[in-house]
Chain A
Amino acid sequence: GAGVSQTPSNKVTEKGKYVELRCDPISGHTALYWYRQSLGQGPEFLIYFQGTGAADDSGLPNDRFFAVRPEGSVSTLKIQRTERGDSAVYLCASSTGTGYEQYFGPGTRLTVT
């Protein structure tokens, strides 16, 4: 079946602009996770959803970052006033529930110039 998909695959934006990154989880997966991965490092937790609600958003670096999952399926990560330090690969994963095997999407490479 279809895996986790993320769009766009690449995004180049200018410093100060607003961006939205989309994640389509595996159908039926109730848990959805966002991570950020910088070159040479492991993924860094940002936020996870159980259903429509954000169960833990403690990894969001500051209030420029926000994520929603209004219908408990697709999620959007929103970044306001982008900074060069936001450049990274943003990974989305989903699972049948928290604590279960996570299936990762291909990621969105964000470059802020």
Chain B
Amino acid sequence: ELKVEQNPLFLSMQEGKNYTIYCNYSTTSDRLYWYRQDPGKSLESLFVLLSNGAVKQEGRLMASLDTKARLSTLHITAAVHDLSATYFCAVDIKTNAGKSTFGDGTTLTVKP
């Protein structure tokens, strides 16, 4: 059974600081997704990572994938209040690309 673990689960940081969220998964996969969820809202797709070494960046967020270590990171650069949200990673197992398994999310609070 595929397990996806995120850490930390809660993160409070100051504006302007950098931090990294980690996503570990337990079995071979070739697709990893990052989503953002604002309170009371649905999920918004941030990144799709398809291969080992993939790196994608959008604004202050950068995601990377290491399939050998079964690890993805979401790096936040110079955080701003608008980044406050819950971030989820999700993984598709190699043999069943439609069945995504989600982590429990990292709730990020950026304080002025």
Interface residues of A (CB under 8 A from B): 31, 33, 35, 40-45, 48, 50, 55-56, 58-59, 91, 93, 98-107
Contact = CB atoms under 8 A, between A and B. Distances in A.
Interface of B: 4, 31, 33, 35, 41-45, 48, 88, 90, 92, 96-105
Contacts of B44: 104
Contacts of B4: 42
Q: Secondary structure of the B side of the interface?
A: strand
Contact of A42 (B48, B92, B97, B105): B105
Contacts, number: 59
Contacts of A56: 96, 98-99
A91 B43 contact: yes
Contacts of B100: 33, 43, 45, 102
